[in-house]
Amino acid sequence: MRRRRVNRVATISMHTSPLDQPGTGDAGGMNVYIVESAKRLAELGVEVEIFTRQTGSALPPVAEIAPGVSVRHVTAGPYEELDRADMPGQLCAFLSGVLRTEAMYDPGRYDVIHSHYWLSGQVGWLAKERWGVPLVHTMHTMAKVKNLLLAAGDRPEPPARVLGEEQVVEVADRLVANTSDEARELKDLYGAPDDRVAVVNPGVNLTVFQPASQGAARRRLGVRQDAHLLLFVGRIQPLKAPDVLLRAAARMLIEDPSLRSRLVVACVGGPSGNGLARPDVLVDLAAELGIADVVRLVPPAPQEELADWYRAADVTVVPSYSESFGLVALESQACGTPVAAASVGGLRTAVRDGVSGLLVDGHDPQDWALALRRFVTAPRWRDGLASGARAHAAAFGWQSTASRLMEVYAGALAHLHRMPVAVNS
C-alpha cells in the first residue's frame, strides 16, 4: 500500500507572530512553542510555513527564521496590534490570505495544518475542508478552564470563544494537549474523543537555558551578590498573578524586617490582555504595599538575558491561576533555579513538587510568603532543589517534542485518509 510522507506543515498562528518578543502583548509561551518546535521539525526534514497576521507595513511578505522555517505575513485588518477581542472580525480576511497563498502553488502543497489557539483553529477548520488535509490543533489555553479559575477582577472569556473552541474540537483530526491534565480537560469539558487527543509535552532550549555562575549573572544584571532575589517572568495580567508575589513579599518583610536590606523582587515582562487597562498596576501596588524599594520592574528580555535572570534568582515564582504548561518554570529549572508554582494545570507536570521546586495550593499571599521564605532562609534545602531542577528539566527537549509531533501528524493523516503514513525517512 502506498505510504504518504509528511513533507510540509502549514502552521497557523493568527493573533500573535512567532517573531514577537515573548513577555508582552499577546506574545508568550505559545510563541516560543511555535518557533522551537518548527526549528526541530525542520531538522527532521519537514518544511514549516507559519501564517500570522501582518502588524507592520515594513514587514516582508515572507521571512525565514531558520532553514526550512518561514513566516508568511497575511494582511488582515490594520497594520497595528489588535485587541484579541477584535480578532474574530478579521477571520475572513486572514483566511482569504491563507487560501490565496496555497492557490499560488500546485495542489497538495501542505500535508498537515497545525493551528494554535482557537482563532487559528477556526481558520484551520476551513482550510482543512478546502485543501483536503488533516487539521491538528493545540489549544494552549481553554476558555472553560480559565473561567473556572478566574483571578479577582479578571474578565471571563466570552461565549463566542467557548463556542469557537467547541467547534474546533469537533472538527480537528488530532488535538494536542501539553499534559495529561490538559488532555483530561479536553475530554471532560469539551467532549473530545479519546482517540483524537494526544499528549505532547513542550520542551526547553537546553542550549540557551543551562546552569552557569549565579555571581556572574548578577554582575551583568546589576544585582547585589548577597541579594535574596525572587523572580517573576511573564506577561503582566491578572491570570499570571504577579500581584500574589508582591503581596507575599510584603508579608515576608512584615514578619522579618531584616530582610528588607537584601530582598529584591524582580518582575520581567510587560502588560498584556486585561492588564493593558492598568499598565502601572505593579508600580501602584508596590507603593501601596510599601515595598517599592525592593521591587524591580524589567521589560521583556531576549532569551540570553532571560537565562541570566533565571541564574541570578534564588527562586522563580509562577503563581498563575491557570497554565496549560508553564514554559517559564521549565526554563528556570534548566538554568538550575528551583520554582515555586501554583498547583494548577500543566505546572503540576512542569514542576516536581519537593524535587525541583514547590507547588503551592491556592493564592493566599500568606501561604506564598511561608513558601518563599524557605528559599531565602534554608540555602542547603534550596541547593537540593536546584540539583533536582536541573535533572528534571533535562528530560524535556524540543527534539522529543518534534518527534512526538511527527507521530501525531502521521496519525492525523492516517485518520483522514485511512492509509499508513511515513513519519520520516
The backbone torsions φ and ψ at residue 264, rounded to the nearest 5 degrees and listed phi first, read -130, 125
Residue 313, marked binder: yes
Integer angstrom CA distances of residue 362 from 144, 255, 333, 368 = 19, 21, 22, 9
Residue 75, marked binder: no
**The dihedral formed by the CA atoms of 190, 192, 194 and 200, expressed in degrees to the nearest 10:** -90
Phi-psi region for residue 362, left (φ > 0), alpha (ψ -120 to 50) or beta?
A: left
> 168-191 burial, b for 16+ CB within 10 Å, e for fewer?
bbeebbbbbbbbebbbebbbebbe
For strands 62-66 and 69-74, give the pairing: antiparallel
Residue 262, marked binder: no
CA atoms within 13 A on the CB side of 145: 24
Residue 110, marked binder: no
Residue 414, marked binder: no
Residue 310, marked binder: yes
Residue owning grid cell 497538495: 108
Residue 235, marked binder: yes
Residue 76, marked binder: no
Residue 21, marked binder: yes
Residue 161, marked binder: yes
Residue 311, marked binder: yes
Nearest alpha carbon to residue 338 among 365, 366, 318: 318
Residue 146, marked binder: no
Residue 345, marked binder: no
Residue 187, marked binder: no
Residue 117, marked binder: yes
| The three three-digit cell numbers of residue 268, written as one number | 520581567
Q: Which residues pair with 4 in a beta bridge?
A: 421
Residue 26, marked binder: yes
Nearest alpha carbon to residue 342 among 327, 356, 323: 323
Residue 105, marked binder: no
Residue 338, marked binder: no
Residue 380, marked binder: no
Binding residues for 1D-myo-inositol 3-phosphate, by number, are: 15, 26-31, 84, 117, 141, 161
Binding residues for UDP-N-acetyl-alpha-D-glucosamine, by number, are: 21-22, 29, 235, 240, 323, 331
Binding residues, by number, are: 15, 21-22, 26-31, 84, 117, 141, 161, 235, 240, 310-311, 313, 323, 331, 337
Binding residues for Mg(2+), by number, are: 310-311, 313, 337
